[in-house]
Structure 1
Amino acid sequence: MECPECGGERRTFAVPSELRADVPDRPSSILLCTRCLAFEPVENPDVEPSNFATISDALPDEPDAAAGMVLATALLSSLALYRQHVDALFDRVEAAGVDPLLVLDRLAADPNLDPNFDIESRRRQLLQLRD
């Protein structure tokens, strides 16, 4: 399925149940563009557990940490609106032993990703807000 934002490939990913409370609308799955990270919640309970790490080599190997990072990064497109969700997801990623700010640096350098926002700018804003 083609992304209406950038023309990239959109795939359905299951949202791990323990992360749903930290995602707007608490979806069981999302339709996510693997290039620009635009997503929309979808209810598709038949979606198999997803490997979010297939989106970028910069993501952690641990599945829930990778899912948390992808979801938090996608929500950075509207940091003012989703700040609480981003903070909660980053807390979960940190609890899994992963530095989310370091992962953001790596995602910003990934040539296969082209989100509609500047990851580095949002990282700086987030760092200021989290201090």
Structure 2
Amino acid sequence: MECPDCTVELVAFTVPPEYRDHLPGSEPGAGLCPHCLSFEAVTDPPAETPDFDRVGEAFPTAPDAALPLALLVGLLSNLALYRSEIAALLEAVERAGTDPLLVLDRLDRDESIETDLDLTGRRTQLEQLL
């Protein structure tokens, strides 16, 4: 599946049951664009483990950290609407041993990523959530 914004292939994955309540809609999967960080619902997600290496060197590859972080990045554009969901995802990423704020800093500096998200501004807002 391609990103509708930049036509790069999405990193698609099945959303684990414990995170489905954090997302709008009822689709069983999601996809994160490794180029623009666009987030899309996926109705038929792949069964194999997603290749989060494509999202940049800073992005974790272990599924227990990568999946909630991908969902968190997907919800960042609507921080006010999904405040409690984002807070829960932040905690899940931290429990998995990854610093989500550090990852956002590094994604912001990654020259291969061209996103409309203000990652620096969102990071500041996320610090206030913690």
Aligned match of 1:105: 105
Aligned amino acid, residue 9 of structure 1: E
Q: What's the TM-score once normalised by structure 2's chain length?
A: 0.83
| Structure 1 residues 114 and 89: CA distance shift in structure 2, 3 A | same
Aligned match of 1:21: 21
Does residue 118 in structure 1 map to residue 118 in structure 2?
yes
Q: Aligned equivalents of 2:45 and 2:11: distance in 1?
A: 15
3-state DSSP class of the match of 2:79? helix
- Cα distance, 1:22 vs structure 2: 2.3
Q: Aligned equivalents of 1:4 and 1:63: distance in 2?
A: 25
Query: Unpaired segments of 5 or more residues in structure 2?
Result: none
- Cα distance, 1:7 vs structure 2: 3.6
Q: Aligned equivalents of 1:45 and 1:125: distance in 2?
A: 31
Contact between 2:30 and 2:45, CA under 8 Å: does it hold in 1? no
Q: Aligned equivalents of 1:27 and 1:2: distance in 2?
A: 17
> Identical aligned pairs, as a percentage?
45
Q: What's the TM-score once normalised by structure 1's chain length?
A: 0.83
Structure 1 stretches of 4+ with a deviation exceeding 4 A read: none
Q: Aligned equivalents of 1:49 and 1:25: distance in 2?
A: 22
- Cα distance, 1:55 vs structure 2: 1.5
3-state DSSP class of the match of 1:31? strand
3-state DSSP class of the match of 2:13? strand
